[in-house]
Amino acid sequence: MALSVYLVVGLGAAVAGFVQGLSGFAFGLVALSFWAWVIDPQLAAILAVAGSLTGQIVAAVTVRRGFDRARLAPFVLGGLAGVPLGVLLLPHLNADWFKLLLGTLLVVWCPAMLLAKDLPRITVGGRLADAAVGMSGGLLGGLGGFTGTLPTLWCVLRGYERDVQRTIIQNFNLAMLAVTMVIYLGSGLVTRSALPMLAVVLPAMLIPVFLGTRVYVGLSETAFRRVVLGLLTVSGITLLAAALPRVL
């Protein structure tokens, strides 16, 4: 591959690493905004999962916010059912339509939540609803490392405080991404051709992830909510920008 491709991949990893350290999610979505133009979807998925997993490990060490087993369990159990389905669908997925649908959801819903003065809290559904959202996150994780997108949105709708949300998303992402990477390796999706790109992505993101976690510590509840919803919105716009020209 051309040197310019490696530079774009490295830049995308660095920016995505900072965002993940700050918000606890979104590595895959941010990285995709760079990578979608220069590498194929399956390689991008492998790099996104590897980068996301590395970032979550760094964040787990540097941003410790406890471990609420009872609240986390439904998300993880649902996610474990979703990851294999996502991996199974990956080789057959129309990536452009997937990006279009997910991007539309984020672009429509997140700004509305961002502009709302008093966000409505969803209290119905209990653990079953949490498990369904976890399954959706696991499925998206299997498709390309997007484990935290829908669970993060759900935590905002639940009205969870900043540290509670961080605890759920950080631990959920860590578990789902680890399972996804094991399945990727076991199924032979990670080939030798991916190794040079992995050698670029992982070093490029380490320091930015750490810097992002330092910024997170100083954020207020309101600022954190705005950051999360703003990032989700930008991620949606990025997905639409990548998918619309191909679909049309």
CA distance between the termini of the chain: 28
Per-residue pLDDT at 128 = 95
Kindly report the number of other CB atoms within 10 A of residue 246's CB atom.
Answer: 13
Residues of the chain where predicted confidence (pLDDT) is lower than 50? none
Per-residue pLDDT at 109 = 76
User: Are 111 and 233 within 8 A, CB to CB?
Assistant: yes
The count of structural domains within the chain is 1
DSSP sequence for 65-131: ----HHHHHHHHHHHHHHHHHHHHHGGG--HHHHHHHHHHHHHHHHHHHHH-SSPPPP--SHHHHHH
Q: Is pTM, for the whole model, over 0.75?
A: yes
Per-residue pLDDT at 228 = 79
Per-residue pLDDT at 208 = 93
DSSP 8-state secondary structure symbol assigned to residue 121: P
Interatomic CA distance for residues 178 and 185, integer angstroms: 11
Per-residue pLDDT at 117 = 59
Q: Which two tokens stand for residue 241?
A: 């920008």
Query: Domain of 210?
Result: 3-247
Kindly report the number of other CB atoms within 10 A of residue 55's CB atom.
Answer: 32
Please give the backbone phi and psi of residue 237, each rounded to the nearest 5 degrees, phi first: -60, -40
Interatomic CA distance for residues 248 and 240, integer angstroms: 11
Per-residue pLDDT at 119 = 64
